[in-house]
Amino acid sequence: MLHVSFIKHIENICSHIEQKPVRLRAYERISGGDINDTYRLAMSDRDYFIKVNTADRLDMFEKEADGLKLLFESQSFVVPQVYHADVFEQHAFLLMEYVEALYQTENPKNFAESLVKLHQKINDQYGLSYDNYIGRLPQKNDFNTDWIHFFIKNRLQFQIDLAGDLIPTDILHQFDRLYQKLPELLWIDRPALVHGDLWSGNYFYNLQGQTVIFDPAVYYGHREVDLAMMQLFGGFSKDIYEYYQALLPMASGWQERLKVYQLYPLLVHVNLFGASYLAGISRILAYFVKNT
């Protein structure tokens, strides 16, 4: 429940945004994952969306705001406008535009076209000028001109080190063997802007049928990582992949390579939710290192 003093503070911010006095008419708590408290705020003339957490989570919200702005600037997907990230009393918050969702529809062509536009935003190195987060976990983005080195150091090994004793020795040995095979397994493409955490809970279609994305873990990486995340837990029409491949083709064998990239989100899930995700990691590793 939002305290009166916090509501007053948000009213003042919204009044500044709209350049007129604004009052809260009503608010409702809505689904927003398991990390933050999230609310729809019905202000005088329009609605806002707010995430709330403890004050020590401000950096997480600031990096999320930066990521959303970077996605917005790509002119690809519809991205909620970010208004303000700050701390009030003991709470950090992120105030954003509220976008009405239309859940009973699919527009795979729009999704694919938007994803292609996002992936056509390129850089001269893999990474980002700052570290950010994937969920509530830190994500390292040290720049590197070598994709395989970047993927090993900043993605796989960083999460492995974070997991510590959660990962058995035999799986660690399999990772070492996989690292040796990556140059022959992976297709090297130019550094593309990626959402970084593109699962089915991080997109919807708005009332105009356009694809809206949010909760990013952005960086310049290999564009196949977004496709890999999309396939890991499902929730995306198969037509999206067909449209995407027609517009911005990937090299042959991409379906198999996606399994390699799924190791990163699975490691993240080990660190967030526990060892039950090790089984999926072990299956992927066994598939690629069975002949070594």
Output DSSP code: residue 9: H
In angstroms, the CA 8 to CA 223 distance is 43
| Range of weakest confidence among 1-5, 19-23, 24-28, 33-37 | 33-37
Segment 7-14 shows an average pLDDT of 97
Query: In which region does residue 49 sit, left (phi positive, over 0), alpha (psi from -120 to 50) or beta (all else)?
Result: beta
User: Is the sign of the CA dihedral 108, 114, 117, 122 positive or negative?
Assistant: negative
Q: What local confidence, expressed as pLDDT, does residue 122 receive?
A: 98
The pLDDT-based confidence of 33 (bands split at 50, 70, 90) is: low
Name every residue whose Cβ is closer than 8 Å to that of residue 102 and which is 6 or more positions away in sequence: 204, 205, 206, 207, 209
131, 161, 197, 239: the active-site residue? 197
Segment 55-80 shows an average pLDDT of 97
Q: Is the pLDDT of residue 41 over 90?
A: yes
> Domain extents for the chain?
4-97, 108-289
Helix (H) or strand (E) holding 40: strand 37-43
Q: What's the CATH superfamily of 108-289? A: Aminoglycoside phosphotransferase (APH), C-terminal lobe (3.90.1200.10)
Query: What proportion of the chain, given as a percentage, has pLDDT over 90?
Result: 93
Instruction: Give tens-digit pLDDT for 160-206.
Output: 999 999 999 999 999 999 999 999 999 999 999 999 999 999 999 99
The pLDDT-based confidence of 266 (bands split at 50, 70, 90) is: very high
- Whether 197 is a known active-site residue: answer yes
Residue 45 or residue 102, greater confidence: 45
In angstroms, the CA 172 to CA 182 distance is 15
Q: Is the pLDDT of residue 32 over 70?
A: no
Q: Is the pLDDT of residue 242 over 70?
A: yes
Q: What local confidence, expressed as pLDDT, does residue 102 receive?
A: 84
Query: What proportion of the chain, given as a percentage, has pLDDT over 70?
Result: 98
Strand partners, 50: 39, 95
If you average pLDDT over every residue of the chain, what do you get?
95
- Start-to-end CA distance of the chain, whole Å, equals 56
Q: Which token pair is 52?
A: 């709330």
The pLDDT-based confidence of 104 (bands split at 50, 70, 90) is: low
Measured in residues, the chain has a length of 292
Instruction: Give tens-digit pLDDT for 282-291.
Output: 999 999 997 5
Among 2.60.120.560, 3.30.200.20, 3.40.50.300, 3.40.630.30, name the CATH number for the domain at 4-97.
3.30.200.20
Instruction: Give tens-digit pLDDT for 203-217.
Output: 999 999 999 999 999
